[in-house]
Amino acid sequence: MKKIFFVALCLMVILSGTVFARGGAQSGDGKMYIAMISKGFQQQFWQYVKQGADQAAAEFGVTITFEGPESESMIDKQMEMFQTALGKNPAAICFGALDAQADAPLVAEAKRRGIPVVTFDATVASDDPVSFVATDSKVAAAAAADKMGEAIGGQGKVAIICHDQTNTTGIYRRDGFIDRIKEKYPNIQLLEVQYGGGDPLRSTEIVKAVINANPDLKGYYATNEGSAIGLANAITELNMKGKIVGIGFDSGKVQLDAIRSGILYGAIQQNPVLIGYKAVEMAYRAVKGETVPKIIDSGYVWADQRNLDSKEVQAVVYQ
């Protein structure tokens, strides 16, 4: 009797799993369900990625969830979020990877289960994602290097505060800048790269220490929103406005105010709304069986005091 009960119980579990697998791709309202996992919430950037994702969800008639860890240093927590999302059997997953290597097996598992993954902002070290939506960080970083080279007359010491060395945005924005400086500006001396985790307070302290140790520093490059806020704070606190050329990434209010006031020289502006929109769109189209582009470059715009109020810049900034 016990054996019969055990077999029946196993059969119930198998059947319930089958029902979940068949229906899990839809939300409770019957719409296609897409799970979206960002790199965090500590910066305005991700709120505007969500805004674009919400726009696409409304347009394509899908339901999305949008979540991310409190900090971009919380790789393990983001991986847990991905595993939880897999357990809900979504139709697709949009994923901004914090660690290109560690996150690759998660995407591989999703692929094994037939769940397409679209990476956004940062991808993984594999070909498993069906599409990757982001600014071409290497190209944009090279443009930042050219702006730096021009601003300091092609010579002098330049420091870098980078947000990360495990996700692809940090790696590409670091290497794209360094490679262009080495290629075109032999009289610029690059100091050892420092990493602040994208945290404004931590980045501020790192930048202050580097500036104090290098009184002849000509320029400073920051690779994301949090790093750029840290750079602006440090320049302000040390009264170095006009003495150091500061160049950043992204367009939060603090950076824009710093550019307008001359604390920062300028910044590379991304289009987070477009990134979020395209990530959901590509996921939707992949689920529908359409062939989607492997890479979608969401573009960038350079902003400084001269063009800050132009239509081109105002079309992509967020405040």
Reduced to 3 states (helix: H, G, I; strand: E, B; else coil), residue 128 is coil
State the CATH number of the domain containing residue 171: 3.40.50.2300
Query: What pLDDT does 42 receive?
Result: 72
Contact by Cβ (8 Å): 129, 107: yes
Q: Would residue 50 count as lying in a domain?
A: yes
Nearest to 140 by CA among 150, 152, 148, 130: 148
Residue-range definition of the domain harbouring residue 201:
137-269
Contact by Cβ (8 Å): 197, 224: no
Q: Would residue 311 count as lying in a domain?
A: no
Query: What pLDDT does 14 receive?
Result: 33
Report the relative pairing of strands 188-190 and 156-162 from DSSP bridges: parallel
276-284 average pLDDT score: 98
Q: How confident is the model at residue 43 (pLDDT cuts 50, 70, 90)?
A: confident
Q: Are residues 111 and 38 in the same domain?
A: yes
Q: Are residues 79 and 163 in the same domain?
A: no
Query: What pLDDT does 27 receive?
Result: 56
- The number of distinct structural domains making up the chain is 2
Q: Would residue 9 count as lying in a domain?
A: yes
Q: Are residues 169 and 232 in the same domain?
A: yes
Q: Would residue 214 count as lying in a domain?
A: yes
**Percent of the chain clearing pLDDT 90 (strictly above):** 85
